[in-house]
Chain A
Amino acid sequence: MLSIPFTKTTLANGLDVIVHEDHQAPLTAVSVWYHVGSKNEVPGLTGLAHLFEHLMFEGSQHEPSGYFGPLQQAGAAINGSTSTDRTNYWEVVPKDATRLALWMEADRMGWLLPALTESRLETQRGVVLNERRQSYENRPYGLAQFTIMDALFPQEHPYHWPTIGEPADLAAAALSDVHGFFSRYYHPGNASLAIAGDVRTDDVVAMVEDLFGAIPRGPVVSAVTAAAPTPSQRRLVMEDRVELPRLYMAWLTPGLFEAGDAELDLVSDLVANGRTSRLYGRLIHERRIAVELAAGQTSRELGGTFQIVASAAPGHTLDELEAAINEEIERFGTEGPTERELLRGRVQAEAAFVFRVESLGGFGGKADQLNAYNIYRSNPDSFQVDLDRYLGATRDSLRSAVADWLGRRAAVTLAVVPQGTERPTLSGAERVERSAA
């Protein structure tokens, strides 16, 4: 049984507090999840959840000079991340700095706005625009994902826009917009706090009461809903500063924890990840028509997406890759995996789960996982339930997941080709422009 012993307490202001004791190393992991991501934004004001991932480190009323200084001097590792669905913030500290880490989290949850000034906003707006340039615009194939999400989801769907935001929206965001977004989403009733490590549960819960108890409960945040997008079949081509044409095939699939989600996660490895995968064997090892290959099921609250990505070897076309990929999907959807493939998928899933609980915190450590299960399933004790989805997969459930969800042609097929390519190597594709700034 894979289980992480914990206690969960809910403060009067609605804050969930999850504590897991582990006395192996003199460390404490603190993780705060806010149930807000880019899906809570509106067109015209995108990028705010991610912008907060910057502003939350810049200072709060009682620590106005910034969060990195005091925490780094206490020996902390610190970071945060933003997705379509949630934002997380974490520290891993030597155990004697547990109170400090909690104090910092409390101060920015309860007392951020007095320190959130126009000049702070201005600087971090610049930093985020530079993050966008560095991570997407200036990177080969860096704009492909924006184009895919844009085409998969209609304009009003919350997954249509990128988490990092549209540059024009970031430029237009006023201080009042930013303050308003904080008041709406960053409060105890929309957060989950997990503490894992060398602590005593009673002590640390009392500490949390003391530090977070006075923060007022915020407005109720209602769940974001969206009509399921109608799958179309769009074929697109865009130019980039790249050497080899690359094919992206994207399907709309079940969301997080829905039927078929775990199966498609297993399928991504069996079909296209690593040397043991079917497509590696056929496209790279035997036929040598592809040089790079990957696949993944991205599980999100409002629905999932499945993608296969492959770059063509010189002299080969994306049409060839597409045909070979479709053929393999069809075969998988008819015959399913072999017994050996199924066993490999299961044992790899088991190992991945064990590694996820090997560390206390950070991205993917125990504190992060407890929060994930608490936010998405309202129950931190979901490790075994989650793993069972993988261990319970059968040859037939994997076969039918592929037949049901990937059986129809991809919803979006995108070719990214070298600049100046006259004849796209993907037939029937419509040219799209994506400006770099």
Chain B
Amino acid sequence: MTRRFERPSPGESTPIRFPAIARARLENGLSVWSIAHRGVPVASATLVMSRGTGDDPAPLPGLASLTGDLLDEGAGSRDAIALADAFGQLGTQLDIDVGPDATTLSVSGLARFLPDALALMADVVIRPTLQADDFARVRELRLNRLRQLSRSATTMADRAYVSALFGAHAYGHGALGTTSSLEAVTLEDAQTFWRHMYAPAAATLVVVGDIQLAEVAGHAERAFGSWEARTPAPPPTARPDLPSDPRVLLVDRPGSPQSELRVGHVGPPRSTPAYHALVTLNAVLGGQFTSRINRRLREEKGVTYGARTSFDFRRVAGTFSCDTSVQADATAGAVTDVLEEFDRVRDEFVPEDELGAAKASLTRGYVRNFETASQLARAAVQLATHGLPDDTFDRFVPTIRDIAGADVRDAAHAYVRPVEATIVVVGDASVCASSLEAIGRTVSIVSPEF
């Protein structure tokens, strides 16, 4: 009976092998990747183009996202509704996502419909109609979406934060852009963006399912073979020069029962050699439920539903931030707690058992990321977007295992810099402004641009 009450230890974990990626290239330059995945009869197809909101021209934030949105407002011989219906008849829908570094178009559905879905997807990418009335309607919807979001505490905080970190750089605005940029943008701008940025040489088609490369390449050729080869505009590669802004930026939102917080600064790009040390550091500091900041603010103090830190690794620069929402009367205390935890992870060696626990959760749980077709497709999209080698996922577990306390401390010194951290607070200024003054930093009232 005593054994019954002894917690069992997990055994050895199974090594991870990411499935082989079989590759072909069409004459027009489109890369075609095929990944075998058996089980349920579903297939996933993703076209990833390595252009995104980071390619927005300076005067027109929001252009990449608007262009992506317009693609399925009419393509080939179909209008927006007919296109959506055609995907719907295949039991699927087209998802278009425009992120900082990449635009992805994806469909997941019953495997038997894959060729038809690819043909529709090709229409959307190669033959979008990009017409004036669709443009006007989409722009109006986006302007109204911005209006709606201007009342959301989380979006207000996100906007104030990226703007403080990146300023005029293309990473410094929300994907939707701003009211003034949307009012200035023209249909010609979207047509030009599509012509310059969308090209087979900048794109990869990833297909995951119970299917061989030869068959995938055949479907791809029929669907995308007519895509005209052209040289896309190069993506930005230079790391922007970004001064830090270590103020408290307070966005007054009267009546808020909680304050939405962002604390951090610019982070390194995906290509950083410190990647694995930073992933480990983040697991200790705030990446998980049991991480230091969540334990302190939620499990010890009960002042939040949750607190997280993250490194968002992008192509030319990233962000490091702690995101949380805390009850209004605990605002300044929570900011102080977060900054103290930033200091502590720099100043003190992470104890061996804590480091071991963080590494174990990262390595042992890693296999969960590769269960479904969509997960495998998302992983492959990461490889394509950042030009990472095929063994990236296989090397993750052994590399994390080799991370030592000194690696984490060095990474913390270089990439967690509390004195440079920007602190964004979206909350009721009448409740939290005076206690924020006591932190000892300049407090500026700002309002994010929508």
Quote the shortest CB–CB distance from A77 to chain B (angstroms): 6
Q: Could you say which of B35-43, B227-235, B240-248 contacts chain A?
A: B35-43
Q: How far is the CA of A350 from the CA of B90 in the complex (A)?
A: 10
Point out the residues of chain B lying under 8 angstroms from A137, CB to CB. 257-258
Interface membership of A168, Cβ < 8 A? no
A130 to B334, CA, bound (A): 14
* Known contacts A24-B38, A100-B7, A103-B8, A135 near B147 by CB under 8 Å: no
Do B7 and A123 have beta carbons less than 8 Å apart?
Answer: no
Q: Which residues of B contact A340 (CB under 8 A)?
A: 85, 89
- The interface of chain A, by Cβ under 8 A from chain B, is 22, 24-27, 61-63, 66, 68-70, 72-78, 92-97, 99-100, 103-104, 107, 122-127, 129-131, 133-135, 137-140, 210-211, 214, 241-244, 274-276, 280-281, 284-285, 288, 291-292, 311, 313-314, 340, 343-344, 347-348, 350-351, 354-355, 357-360, 436-437
Q: Residue B357 at the A interface, CB < 8 A?
A: yes
B289 in contact with A96 (CB, 8 Å):
no
Complexed CA–CA distance, A125 and B90 (Å): 47
The answer to whether A26 and B257 touch (CB under 8 A), given A72-B288, A138-B153, A243-B148, is no
Are B85 and A288 within 8 A (Cβ)? no
Interface pair B137/A127, CB less than 8 Å apart:
no
* Residues B350-390 near A (CB distance < 8 A): 357, 360-361, 363-368, 370-373
- A100's partner among B5, B9, B12, B80 (CB-CB below 8 A) is B9
Closest to B374 in A: A358
Q: In the complex, which of the residues A92, A103, A139, A354 contacts B42, with contact meaning CB atoms closer than 8 Å?
A: A354
Segment at the A interface, from B213-221, B298-306, B410-418, B430-438: B298-306
B85 touches A344 (CB 8 A): yes
- Given A292-B148, A348-B88, A351-B110, 7 more A-B residue pairs with CB atoms under 8 Å apart are A62-B5, A73-B357, A75-B361, A133-B305, A243-B148, A274-B88, A280-B81
Query: Which chain A residues lie closer than 8 Å to B304 at the CB level?
Result: 127, 130, 134
Q: Is the CB of B14 within 8 A of A274?
A: no
Chain B residues at the A interface, C-beta cutoff of 8 Å: 4-14, 38-42, 80-81, 84-85, 88-93, 108-110, 137, 140-141, 144-145, 147-148, 150-153, 253, 255-258, 260, 288-290, 298-305, 325-327, 357, 360-361, 363-368, 370-373
Option from A92, A93, A123, A355 in Cβ contact (under 8 Å) with B299: A123
- A77 near B258 with CB under 8 A, answer no
If the complex has contacts A344-B89, A354-B110, are A276 and B84 also in contact, measured as CB distance less than 8 A?
A: yes
| A141 CB, nearest partner CB in chain B, Å | 9
When the two chains form the complex, which single residue of A99, A280, A436 contacts B8, counting CB atoms closer than 8 Å? Answer: A99
Contact of B302 among A94, A124, A276, A348 (CB under 8 A): A124
Residue pairs across A and B with Cβ atoms less than 8 A apart, 25 shown, are A26-B14, A70-B7, A72-B290, A75-B367, A93-B10, A96-B11, A100-B8, A100-B9, A123-B302, A127-B298, A130-B258, A130-B326, A133-B258, A138-B258, A138-B325, A241-B255, A242-B151, A243-B148, A276-B81, A291-B148, A292-B148, A313-B144, A340-B89, A344-B85, A436-B255
CA distance A344 to B110 in the complex (A): 13
Let me know if B367 and A94 touch, CB within 8 A: yes
Judge whether B360 and A24 touch: CB under 8 Å.
no
Q: A25-B371, A243-B147, A274-B84 are in contact. Are A134 and B305 (CB under 8 A)?
A: yes
Q: Which residues of A contact B372 (CB under 8 A)?
A: 358-359
Q: How far is the CB of A40 from chain B (nearest CB, A)?
A: 24
B84: chain A residues at CB < 8 Å are 274-276
Q: How far is the CA of A296 from the CA of B296 in the complex (A)?
A: 39
Given contacts A285-B80, A354-B42, whether A276 and B360 have CB atoms under 8 Å apart is no
Cβ of B13: which chain A residues have Cβ within 8 Å of it? 75, 94, 96
| Residue of chain B at shortest CB distance from A140 | B151
Residues of B within 8 A of A344 (CB): 85, 88-89
| Complex contacts, A210 vs chain B, CB 8 Å | 4
4 closest Cβ pairs, A-B complex: A75-B364, A126-B302, A75-B365, A96-B11
User: What is the bound-complex CA distance between A211 and B305, given in angstroms?
Assistant: 32
Query: Considering the chains assembled together, what is the distance between the CA atoms of A125 and B145 in angstroms?
Result: 35
A116 → chain B, closest Cβ, in Å? Answer: 15
Q: Which residues of B contact A94 (CB under 8 A)?
A: 10, 13-14, 364-365, 367-368
State whether B88 touches A126 (Cβ < 8 A): no
B145 CB contact (under 8 Å) in A104, A214, A291: A291
Complex Cα distance, B10 from A75, in Å, reads: 9
B289 contacts A68, CB within 8 Å?
A: yes
